[in-house]
Amino acid sequence: MTGLKLLLTTYSTAFTISGGGESELVQVAEMLKASGVHADIYGIGSRPLSFYDGVIHFSVHADGEAILREATRRSKPVFLWPNVWWTEAPSDNEIERIGRITRNAHRLVFKSQAELDNFARYIDVAAEKVLVVPTCVSNRFLAPVDLDLMSTICSANDFALCLGLIEPIKNQLELIRALNELGMEGVFVGGARDDEYYRRCVEEAHPGITFLPFVQPCSALLRSIIANCSVMVEASIDPPGRSSLEGAIMRKPLVIADGPWQREHFDDGVWYAPTDSAHGLANAIRQAITSTEREQRVQETWTRITDRHSASTIGPGFAEMLARESL
């Protein structure tokens, strides 16, 4: 044990709709605990702030500023994990507000160089404050899978899987049009953030496309769904994030949109697709399924992601760094 005690926090309305942020908190807490850190997620089960050596705060959302002010008032070092990707410039007021938060933080934690570069386009970042810590993927994704578990909720076979809340920036409608063109089954997991966009997706989807609600992060059911798919597809306009790493570590071929985050993580080990062409997306899915390079790419990507992103690889070094920084 390191003896380090950390509280993981985020903004107050983060889980009114469950999404990737919940998985982030759960997996980071799990990784830290496995590395000898006492890590609690803020809530009814956590201890008073005075108990902890520091705070890891996920997001720069305005609703999280109260807990940050309290941590600062009590002289607790704050490791700010911005968890943001801007596709357009934030407002001047947001730039000023977020700049103030980052100046008060002890350290800024980014999951990739691409994420840091995106953030630094708009917010002044002191280089001496920056830590780049690759996204961790729970070791549960390396464990044996119950393939039959998925059949309790869904009967799809030979399907494309898309994980994440349904909303325009995730671009699921373009994927649905691609699956319609291919006549391929699809499973969408995560529920909806945008009800009107979700309605359009359901209306355009052919009968072989299934929409499932939120599934618990790292759960046996989620792993069963991933294990049963033929291909994972995320044509998101912003980076696909942790779910694509989870698919890679479970040896699934990936079809994703191109971009600096994607290239940093996957190099040439996935099939890149346009975000604005259902036909182009359909072609990429077809190639991922039929390519003679499929198994080689999947194996190379598995090795790359396991070496760089498994919790057992990242956890000990991250815990030691946090312990040093919190002294």
Length of the chain in residues, anyone?
Answer: 327
Contact 187, 156 (CB under 8 A): yes
Same domain, 185 and 41: no
Tell me which long-range contacts 89-94 makes (C-beta under 8 A, separation of at least 24).
89/121, 89/122, 90/122
Give the pLDDT score at 327: 57
Same domain, 150 and 87: no
What CATH number does the domain containing 216 carry? 3.40.50.2000
pTM for the whole structure: 0.91
Same domain, 175 and 239: yes
Give the pLDDT score at 3: 86
pLDDT in tens, the chain (327 residues): 568 999 999 988 777 666 656 668 888 998 999 999 999 999 999 999 999 999 999 999 999 999 999 999 999 999 999 999 999 999 999 999 999 999 999 999 999 999 999 999 999 999 999 999 999 898 899 999 999 999 999 999 999 999 999 999 999 999 999 999 999 999 999 989 899 999 999 999 999 999 998 888 889 999 999 999 999 999 999 998 889 999 999 999 999 999 999 999 999 999 999 999 999 999 999 999 999 999 999 999 999 999 999 988 898 988 888 888 765
Same domain, 150 and 42: no
CA gap 98, 120 in Å, rounded: 11
Domain that holds residue 216: 140-308
Same domain, 147 and 128: no
Distance of CA 153 to the CA centre of its chain: 24
Give the pLDDT score at 311: 87
Give the pLDDT score at 12: 82
DSSP string, 260-312: HHHHHHHTTSSEEE-SS-HHHHHHHHHHHHH-TTHHHHHHHHHHHHHHHHBHH
Strands, E assignment, 18-169: 38-41, 54-58, 78-81, 107-110, 130-132, 159-163
Same domain, 93 and 165: no
Same domain, 155 and 105: no
Report in angstroms the alpha-carbon separations of 45 from 28, 40, 52, 211, 318: 17, 8, 14, 33, 24
Contact 270, 254 (CB under 8 A): yes
Check the CA dihedral 157-162-164-167 and report its sign. negative
Same domain, 64 and 155: no
**C-alpha closest to that of 28 among 225, 233, 217:** 217
Same domain, 304 and 316: no
Same domain, 54 and 164: no
Distance of CA 239 to the CA centre of its chain: 9
Give the angle 284-287-291 at the CA atoms, nearest 5°. 155
Give the pLDDT score at 264: 96
Q: What's the number of domains the chain is made of?
A: 2
Same domain, 173 and 69: no
Same domain, 147 and 290: yes
Give the pLDDT score at 220: 96
